[in-house]
Structure formats: C-alpha cells, structure tokens
Amino acid sequence: MKPFGKHSLLGASGEISDFQEILHYLDELILYDNMWDDGNSLGPKEVHNYLTRVMYNRRNKFNPLWNSLVLGGVKNGNKYLGTVSMIGVNFEDNHVATGFGNHLARPILRQEWHENLSFEDGVKLLEKCMHVLLYRDRSAVNKLQIAKITKEGVTIHQPYSLKTYWEVSAFENPAQGAIGSW
Amino acid sequence: MFRNQYDTDVTTWSPAGRLFQVEYAMEAVKQGSAAIGLRSKTHVVLGCVNKANSELSSHQKKIFKVDDHIGVAIAGLTADGRVLSRYMRNECINYSFTYDSPLPVGRLVVQLADKAQVCTQRSWKRPYGVGLLVAGLDESGAHLYYNCPSGNYFEYQAFAIGSRSQAAKTYLERRFESFRDTTRDDLVKDALMAIRETLQGETLKSSVCTVAVVGVGEPFHVLDQGTVQQMIDAFEIVAEQEGPAAEPDVDSGQEASAEPEPEQGAAAGEGVAPMDI
C-alpha cells in the first residue's frame, strides 16, 4: 500500500516489482501535476482512470503489469473506492477485493456493509474477511495492515497479527480415516 | 522607416529589443472584428460581432465550443483560430479520456501559450495571427483568459479584442467591479451592452452578434438568435426610458484593460513594447 498525492492511497496484490513500477509512474504523474502549481490537483477518480489506461494498454501489448490494484481516496468530501485488474477491468464500488477476496470476502461484505459503518466497525468487518481468507490460503501469513483515508488525509497503521485457532478436532490425526499408502 | 529593416522574419530582433513579426501579428488581431468576454464567480460570457462579407454570404464562425466546460472566441485570422480550436478540442478530449475529468482551463491556456511561443522562435514558422478569449471552468471557479500571438496569456475579469474594442473596454472598465457577484442573465446583458459599444451607433440586433455562455452547472453553448433578440429588446426598452448610455470616450494612448488579477505579470512599460500587454 502506498499513499500518493494529498487525497489517495493505492494498494496492490500480485507482482510486487510491477507494483513498484506503477508507483514510479504515479510519482511522475503527481510530480507533473504539482508542477502546474495551480489550484487543481488529480483526485482518486482521475488517477484510477489513468491506471486503467496503463493496465489496459499493457494488456493489449501482451505485456501486462501483473497486479490487481485497489485505489481509495477522499477529495472535496467525496469518497472514492475503485479497482483495476491486470487486464484493465475497472469499476468502483463500496467494497472491492483482489484475487480470492472477490470470492470469499465480498459476499460477507455484501451482507454486512452499510453506509454508516464506523471506523472501528469497518476494521472489525475487514478483520473478519481476512480471517476467512487466511484460513483458506496455505501460503498466507496472519499479519495485516490497515490504512485509513479521510478528508484530513491518509494514515497507515502499523501491521498487526490476527489470532488464529487451529485446535479444531478435525485436524487432529488427519490420517485417521485414510485407507491405502497415502 | 526603421521598422522595415528588422521585420523580415520572426527570428530577427530589432536593436530596440522587439520582434516586429510578432507585433505585426498582434496588429492582425486588432484588425479582426470585435470579441468580448466577461466573467462572474460562476459564469463566463463570450460575445462577438459577426459581419458577413455581403448580404449573400453567411458570417464567419468566431466562437467555438472546445469542451462542455470551455469555449473560445477569436479575433484576427479566423483560419488560424479554427486550427487552434481543433488543437484545444484534441487536448481536452485526450485529457478526458485519460483522467475521466475535465481539463482545467488554466492548464489548457498554458499549453496554448507555449504552442504560440514556438512560432515566435522558429525561422520557418510565423506567429498565429489570432487572439483568443478562452472562457472556462476549473476547480477554482470560472475563468477568462486572453491568449496573444506572442505566446503571452493573461487572466481577466473582462476584456475585449478586435476592432473598436476600446469602446467596449471602456464600458467594461466602468462596470467590471459588479461582475463578480452578478447573476448570469445580468452578465449576458452586460456582454450585449459591451458589444453595442463596439458597433458605435449601429443598431444592435441578434443577427450581427453571437453570444455564448458557460457556467457552473451550465455547459458551454451558444445562445440562439431568438433568445438574444429577446434580451436585446428587454434592455433596449429600459435604455430608452433612462436615456442614452454614456458616450464611449477613447482614452488616447492608454490601453489599460480591466485586469484586477493578471495571471502573468504584465510589463509596466506599456508604451515601449506592445507585445508585453
């Protein structure tokens, strides 16, 4: 995750080196935007569209940036949350996810998200989603990091760990019912 | 005269530090028919005088829509103006496609000015012979800019260019302080009155002028003849009751135009090098 500009934050999953490349493009974009030194600035919607163009054009050249991007921001009181995939599919919604999150987390969010979630409730909801994902990914770590964007700006909190419980009876002696050489 | 020695191409300086070709290009602007622009906090109005060559022909198009939030009025070589409008439209479309957002007019104006500057520094080019009044919106509200053939640009509260524009400028100078907070309709009325000043005695009819408006919540569009004629009739009646408007007095030598907030520092010495205005 990385904040950029005054109003926004970008998160990605996938190839981290490609993400770093994208951050490089964004740094240049924001720099040129600031160099105009006028009252205008690129907000999250503009950057989202720019990234969509980049991702889609790379996909057309059969040389994609292997990332799923999540972009959020608040500008002039307007909240924005959007996503771009590595093939350039983009949309904005009240909740977005990458990869398996689309299959496991979004149904939970569809049920439990509502307009007036407080920050603490929002974090709890996200932690619930992360738990679900964590239990089902053999290569996941139980660490996560929360970022908050309001009209005051972006704050990224320190990473912290989720508690997990593995003492489920079904996991004891897993080979118990197995027949054969396995 | 002295001038003729150093005015062959645009890349030759005169001993007095002037580029005569650029100044001649500004003359072309002064010869074109008048165009005026004025703005309030939320709206900008552009107006121009349309003179057809003969009864048989149509008049030249001098006001162009560049995007929903930007429009331009030109004076001078209309062919150059058309080409520059196409450039502006292209820039706006490209920006909209990449960022899904309207191009801030301040940035477009700078790009236009830089394009004009290139033509003052290449021996195989000539300056654009057209002055542009760019009206548009950006995040900070409504703006009116004037782009010169020299590559300079200024922001104005109200301005007039072209032939007999001094009369309009004098009228605008008298009234510009009220423009900021005025209503959209009053702004259009003021524009029509300013156009009338440039006609100097001729009757103001909707067939000789064109008016366009852009504002917050109102995309750029040219007002149709019927609406314009209605507005003219409305205030002509009032004007008759009040008596004729004050005579336009031509200030000798002074080209001071209403500019409480110039974007680029206008040179103090106005008499020496006209291109710096």
Domain A94-168 -> CATH class = alpha beta
Shortest Cα distance, chain B CAs vs residue A41, angstroms: 9
Cβ–Cβ under 8 Å, residues A109 and A95: yes
Percentage of chain A beyond pLDDT 90 is: 74
Q: Taking residues A5-21, what's their average pLDDT? A: 92
Shortest Cα distance, chain A CAs vs residue B100, angstroms: 6
Nearest C-alpha neighbor of B100 from the set A84, A153, A28: A84
CB–CB of A49 and B138 under 8 A?
A: no
Tens-place pLDDT, residues B96-153: 999 999 999 999 999 999 999 999 999 999 999 999 999 999 888 999 999 999 999 9
Q: Is there a common fold for A1-92 and A94-168?
A: yes
Return d(Cα B162, Cα B101) in angstroms, integer: 33
Contacts with A50 from chain B: Cβ below 8 Å: 98-99
pLDDT of amino acid B242:
52
CB–CB of B104 and A38 under 8 A?
A: yes
Q: Which residues of B46-56 are buried (b: 16+ CB within 10 A; e: fewer)?
A: bbbbbeeeeee
Task: Using alpha carbons only, give the angle A67, A70, A71 rounded to the nearest 5 degrees.
Answer: 130
pLDDT of amino acid B237:
66
Strands A8-14 and A67-75, how do they pair?
antiparallel
State both tokens at B45. 């109005």
State both tokens at B264. 């680029």
**Candidates A28, A49, A84, partner chain B, best to mutate (most B CBs within 10 A):** A49
pLDDT of amino acid B80:
95
CB–CB of A46 and B101 under 8 A?
A: yes
Cβ of residue A56 closer than 8 Å to a chain B Cβ: no
* Position with higher pLDDT, A45 vs B266: A45
Cβ–Cβ under 8 Å, residues A96 and A79: no
Contacts with A43 from chain B: Cβ below 8 Å: 101
Q: Taking residues A53-75, what's their average pLDDT? A: 95
CB neighbourhood size of B263 (10 A): 19
Q: Provide the β-strand partners of residue B35.
A: B48, B161
CB–CB of B106 and A49 under 8 A?
A: no
Cβ of residue A43 closer than 8 Å to a chain B Cβ: yes
pLDDT of amino acid A64:
96
In A128-157, the residues whose Cβ lies within 8 Å of chain B are: none
Return d(Cα A40, Cα B103) in angstroms, integer: 10
Low-confidence ranges of chain B (pLDDT < 50): 1, 243, 245-274, 276-277
User: Computed over its alpha carbons, how large is the radius of gyration of chain A?
Assistant: 19
pLDDT of amino acid A132:
92
Tens-place pLDDT, residues B155-168: 999 999 999 999 99
The ipTM, to two decimals, is 0.85
In A154-173, the residues whose Cβ lies within 8 Å of chain B are: none
Cβ of residue A91 closer than 8 Å to a chain B Cβ: no
DSSP states of B33-47: PPEEEEE-SSEEEEE
Return d(Cα B242, Cα B245) in angstroms, integer: 8
pLDDT of amino acid B238:
61
pLDDT classification of A181: cutoffs 50, 70, 90: low
Shortest Cα distance, chain A CAs vs residue B39, angstroms: 18
Closest-CA residue in chain B for A38?
A: B106
Cβ–Cβ under 8 Å, residues A113 and A99: no
CB neighbourhood size of B2 (10 A): 10
pLDDT of amino acid A156:
92
Collapsing DSSP states into helix, strand and coil, what is residue A4? strand
Which contiguous run of DSSP H or E holds residue B159? strand B158-161
Return d(Cα A170, Cα B8) in angstroms, integer: 94
pLDDT of amino acid B3:
58
DSSP states of B155-210: E-SEEEESTTHHHHHHHHHHHGGGTTT--HHHHHHHHHHHHHHHHTTSPP-TTTEE
Q: Mind spelling out the 3-state secondary structure of A113-175? A: CCCCCCHHHHHHHHHHHHHHHHHCCCCCCCEECCEEEECCEEEECCCEECCCCCCCHHHCCCC
Nearest C-alpha neighbor of B255 from the set B136, B141, B159: B159
CA dihedral B132, B135, B137, B142 (to 10 degrees): 130
Which contiguous run of DSSP H or E holds residue A105? helix A101-112
pLDDT classification of A176: cutoffs 50, 70, 90: confident
Return d(Cα B186, Cα B192) in angstroms, integer: 10
Cβ of residue A42 closer than 8 Å to a chain B Cβ: yes
Q: Which residue has the tokens 């001038």?
A: B3
Question: Domain extents for chain A?
Answer: 1-92, 94-168
CB–CB of A50 and B106 under 8 A?
A: no
Return d(Cα B106, Cα B252) in angstroms, integer: 33
* pTM, two decimal places: 0.83
Domain A1-92 -> CATH class = alpha beta
With 80 as the cut, is the pLDDT of residue A38 above it?
yes
Return d(Cα B67, Cα B70) in angstroms, integer: 5
Cβ–Cβ under 8 Å, residues B211 and B45: yes
pLDDT of amino acid B260:
38
